[in-house]
């Protein structure tokens, strides 16, 4: 599913699944690129890798412990206890809350599907963790660079989207994540 070239888009292309030898845990890895009206953005955080939980993608039933389906998702500001778009902690400490995050909407029976910082092998089920490189299952996600990527993506979106909401829990007009691939 290609991007439409309209508005703010994060294009994620799933590449493979990795299995950790020590315990058999699986994660999906892929790449991401940020686009403004179809133009690829440059900069360290405007492209990179993503980690998600194992597949196949499924948006039903709730609590299925899988990644979400490959498709186009509208975005919203996140206002939960653990993750927020506005008002996240300024501390880059791993235990500081709330952490930065953006919500995906129209996810069927799934809820609280977010783009947020990862740490270790994988941070959560269903969500998307931004990172630099995951060449194999032995490579862990480093929290501080992942957090910086999420913040840079949020700031880029705030700067590009004309009517970016000024509060949490609101749809972000013209902002989408497009996910391709079911490895």
What digits encode the pLDDT tens for the residues 57-106? Answer: 999 999 999 999 999 999 999 999 999 999 999 999 999 999 999 999 99
Residue 141 forms part of a structural domain: yes
Residue 80 forms part of a structural domain: yes
Residue 151 forms part of a structural domain: yes
pLDDT at 1: 74
The parent domain of residue 137 ranges over 8-180
Residue 35 forms part of a structural domain: yes
Residue 2 forms part of a structural domain: no
Q: Exposed (0-12), middle (13-18) or buried (19+): which is 32, by Cβ within 10 Å? A: buried
Confidence bin at 43 (pLDDT 50/70/90): confident
| Rounded average pLDDT over 135-142 | 96
**Number of domains present in the structure of the chain:** 1
What digits encode the pLDDT tens for the residues 111-135? Answer: 999 999 999 999 988 899 999 999 9
């Amino acid at each position: 599913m290609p991007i439409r070239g309209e508005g703010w888009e994060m294009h994620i292309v799933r590449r493979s699944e990795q299995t950790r030898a020590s315990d058999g845990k699986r994660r999906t890895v892929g790449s991401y690129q940020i686009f403004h009206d179809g133009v690829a953005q440059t900069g360290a955080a405007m492209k990179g890798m993503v980690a998600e939980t194992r597949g196949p993608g499924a948006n039903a039933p709730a609590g299925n412990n899988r990644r979400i389906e490959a498709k186009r998702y509208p975005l919203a500001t996140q206002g939960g206890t653990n993750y927020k778009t506005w008002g996240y902690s300024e501390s880059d400490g791993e235990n500081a809350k709330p952490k930065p995050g953006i919500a995906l909407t129209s996810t069927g029976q799934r809820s609280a599907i977010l783009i947020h910082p990862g740490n270790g092998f994988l941070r959560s089920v269903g969500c998307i963790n931004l990172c630099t490189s995951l060449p194999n299952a032995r490579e862990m996600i480093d929290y501080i660079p992942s957090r910086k990527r999420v913040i840079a993506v949020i700031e880029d979106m705030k700067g590009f989207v004309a009517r970016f909401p000024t509060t949490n829990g609101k749809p972000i007009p013209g902002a989408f994540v497009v996910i391709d691939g079911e490895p």
